[in-house]
Structures are given as C-alpha cells and as structure tokens.
Amino acid sequence: MAAFLKRFAQNRLAVAGLVFLVLLVLVAIFADFIAPYGPSERSSEFRAPPSRDHWFGTDTIGMDVFSRVVYGARVSLKIGILATIMALAIGVTYGAVAGFFGGVVDTIMMRFTDVFLSIPYVILAVAIATVFGRSENALILVLGSIGWLPISRIVRATFLSLRKLEYAEAAKALGFGRARMIFGHLLPNAAVPIIVYGTIAVGGVILSEAALSFIGVGPQYPTPAWGLMVNEASGSLTNAAHTLFFPSFAIFFTVLAFVFVGDGLRDALDPKMRV
C-alpha cells in the first residue's frame, strides 16, 4: 500500500485530480451551506453578470448560476457514480462468465454485445429513456444499462488469459466450483483494469449525462443538472456568456479530474511500473 501511494503521489496530475474530486464531493455534500441561494430561487436580476451578490451571475430567469452549479455537483456525482456501479455490476459479471467458459458460450455472448455496440449510443439512450422516463433515477438506469458493454469486453479478455495460468488450473484440479473460481480466484486478479476503467468511466458517464441533458433526454427543469444548464444557456452566448461558461467549465474539469485519477491509478497499479 505504501508503495502504491508513493507511485500515485509522484503523478502530479493524478494528485491534482484527486484533490479536485475531494473538493467537489465536499461541495456536493455541503451544498446547502455553500450555495447562497436555492437551486430554483429567482431574483429580479435577469442575465446579470458576475457580481458580489451573484458570483457567477444570473441566468435568463434570474436564478443564481453559482448556486445551481453547486447543487448540480450533487446531480452529476449521483448519476455518474450510481450509473457506473450499475454498469460495472452488469459488465463485470457478463464478461467474467463469457471469458471463463469461452468457446460457444463466449461467442454467443460477445455477438450479443456486438449487436448493442453497433447501435448508435444516442439512439439507444433515447429509446431507453422513452421507456424509463427523464428523471435522475431514470437516467441512471439508462446510462447503467448501456454502459456495461465496454467493461464486459475488457473483463472477458482478462479472464481468457487468467484462466490459462497455473493457479487457475490448480483450482480447477482441486474441484473448486465455477462460482468460486470466477469470483474467488480470477476476479480479484482482474481488479486492476476494472478499478481503472471504473474511475475513468465515472467521468464518461457525467459527460454522457450532460450530453443527454443538452438534447433534452436527461433530468428536466428545474433540476440543476449541468448539461441542462448548458442547454438553457446555449442561446445566450452573445448577451449572457457566463450562463454557458460556468456549467461548461464544471463539466470539463470534473471529467478531466476523473481521467487524471484513472491514469494515476493505472500507473500506480501496473506491475510494469514498479521498481
């Protein structure tokens, strides 16, 4: 653990990303104390520029942009983390089974994933959202139900190589059950790519949430979702650019932070990087 922390600390971008994410989590938790206004509270100032009373200015209907960005951290982190957990649970299990059994089972299962991967992401998301609705919880189901495809292929490839190693053959010779071999012996040794992918995937899910909210598939008004804020401000670039820039910056830096942390974990956990 000490060696891992040392290697991780040597990656300055990863440390900076981790610090940013810790601060973002604290902002989301204590949003009620940090935000000077409620997420849907309106004032008499419309499209006001940043000032002492409104740090990020106000939007087209007088709501404080800073307060909505702060509360939007809750929405984005909730959707990003829960949808990623759901996608990992499905994808890891699916890929582990396909990689462990191999042969015909693997071929059938992978062709099934290929069918879904061939469908454009936005079309698939819109189709699922039409069934589940357009709330925060519905968006978690949408992103989780389509986000498992890439990780399933990663886990499947990892299992195909792990099952040929000596310890896997020994466990099989000792008569261990399939479930014990998959989850007790092979899966722990496949944890590194899963952890790295999961970390980066949270940022990807947040970006997907913003994209879907931008096209009207995500949470609806007055939910302070960053993507929805960008959508609402897209027509005000010339006369109220601040309403677009601040939620866009929040999305950009959050996704970038998750990528930096994921890269740092990959380097710290990679045996080839150990001295």
Distance between CA 121 and CA 148 in Å, rounded?
12
User: What is the value of pTM for the model shown?
Assistant: 0.86
Sign of CA dihedral 80, 252, 8, 266: positive
Domain ranges of the chain: 15-25+65-273
CATH classification (class only), 15-25+65-273: mainly alpha
Give 21-58 pLDDT, tens digit per residue.
999 999 999 999 998 888 888 877 787 788 888 888 88
Query: What pLDDT is attached to residue 162?
Result: 78
- Report residue 121 CA to chain centroid gap: 15
Q: What is the pLDDT along the chain (275 residues), one digit of tens a residue?
A: 777 778 878 888 999 999 999 999 999 999 999 988 888 888 777 877 888 888 888 887 888 889 999 999 998 899 889 999 999 999 999 998 888 888 888 889 989 888 888 877 777 777 777 777 777 888 888 888 888 888 899 889 888 887 777 666 676 676 677 677 777 777 777 888 888 888 888 888 888 888 887 777 777 777 788 888 888 777 777 777 888 888 889 989 999 999 999 888 887 876 555 54
Give 262-274 pLDDT, tens digit per residue.
888 887 876 555 5
Distance between CA 218 and CA 263 in Å, rounded?
28
